[in-house]
Amino acid sequence: MNPFILSMMISNLALGTIITAASYHWFMAWVGLEVNTLAIIPILAKQHHPRATEAATKYFIIQMMASSIILFSSIFNAYHTGTWDITQLTTHPTPSLLTIALAMKLGLVPMHFWLPEVMQGVNTMTALIITTWQKLPPMFLLYLTANQLPMVILLLLAISSTLISGWSGLNQTQLRKIMAYSSIGHLGWMFAILSSSQKLLLFTLTMYLLMTIPIFLILITSTTKTIKDLGMLWTTSPTSCTMTMIIFMALGGLPPLSGFLPKWLILEELITNHLIPLATTLTLTSLLSLMFYMRLTYITTLTV
């Protein structure tokens, strides 16, 4: 892709996110989401490969469906309330529709099937954008509307996402698919705390980004794509191999690493709010994710 066109697409990608984050009007938030989606489609398809084209098509269809639901729910809410304010979700079906649409955009279970396939069809740098930057616009909208979203749906999405992501990640050999399921699992934890503590939501999102970006940068610089390649990382860069092991264990939430802190705080908040069954379920389901992270760590150490 021409560098000028690529820089323009990246600028529009940032612009769409900024528009959504700064909006208090549903229509402007929707415009920001559309600009963001249309800007990343050429980036997804820039490889001129059938798998990249398929990934871009899947991403476009899913994002357009989710955006249509968001626009419909906002119009429905504005028709009954007379306001387009994002924080005024008083009409009954609107919060549920909005939650489902944003979960679809993020790739939570059961609307998660597109995320691993799209990430496998693009290069590692584009997969990094999908798992980090593209999560920000929907998370901004969730943050603004957190107190009005249906808690039952949020908790069901959280439990199913942590369970399915851990279970599905166990039999994967492609690192981009593993990172996709890692994203789904961490988003499940964020949805679990969404209605209880928005500050803790932002902290968990920040920690997820700080752990995910370095692991992708290591995969990009070492051209590592599969678990087999990961086993040869020590021979090319011992430093990168050591950092990879530490980050994988942190992503799994293994104490005393940084990834354990947000999960610990989330469990403490849930127990404080008398949601002990939910905290117990999240803890047990996260053991599956920890298992495949430790599996990756073990494979990385085979050549040490």
181 and 287, same structural domain? Answer: yes
Q: Is 145 inside a domain boundary?
A: no
Total tally of structural domains belonging to the chain = 2
241 and 128, same structural domain? Answer: no
170 and 102, same structural domain? Answer: no
107 and 18, same structural domain? Answer: yes
124 and 46, same structural domain? Answer: yes
125 and 179, same structural domain? Answer: no
**Best CA proximity match to 159, nearest among 262, 275, 261, 43:** 275
Residue 304 is predicted with a pLDDT of 53
25 forms beta bridges with 85
Q: What is the average pLDDT across 40-51?
A: 87
Q: Which of 86, 105, 138 is the last residue of a domain?
A: 138
For residues 116, 120, 123, 127, the Cα torsion angle rounded to the nearest 10 degrees is 10
In this predicted structure, which of 62-76, 95-109, 166-180 has the lowest mean pLDDT?
Answer: 166-180
187 and 107, same structural domain? Answer: no
167 and 281, same structural domain? Answer: yes
**Span 55-100, pLDDT tens digits:** 999 999 999 999 999 999 999 988 888 888 888 887 888 899 999 9
Judge whether 195 and 146 are in contact, CB under 8 Å: yes
Distance CA 212, CA 282 (A): 21
Distance CA 73, CA 236 (A): 52
Residue 46 is predicted with a pLDDT of 83
Q: Is 143 inside a domain boundary?
A: no
The H-assigned helical ranges of the chain are 3-21, 26-44, 50-81, 93-106, 114-121, 124-131, 136-144, 151-169, 175-193, 198-221, 227-230, 233-236, 238-251, 260-272, 276-300
Question: Which residue segment(s) compose the domain that 204 sits in?
Answer: 150-303
Taking the CA atoms of the chain, what radius of gyration do you get in angstroms? 19
**Span 196-216, pLDDT tens digits:** 888 999 999 999 999 999 999
Distance CA 300, CA 304 (A): 8
Residue 285 is predicted with a pLDDT of 87
Residue 253 is predicted with a pLDDT of 87
Distance CA 19, CA 25 (A): 10
Q: Is 43 inside a domain boundary?
A: yes
Residue 269 is predicted with a pLDDT of 93
Question: What average pLDDT does the structure give for the chain?
Answer: 89
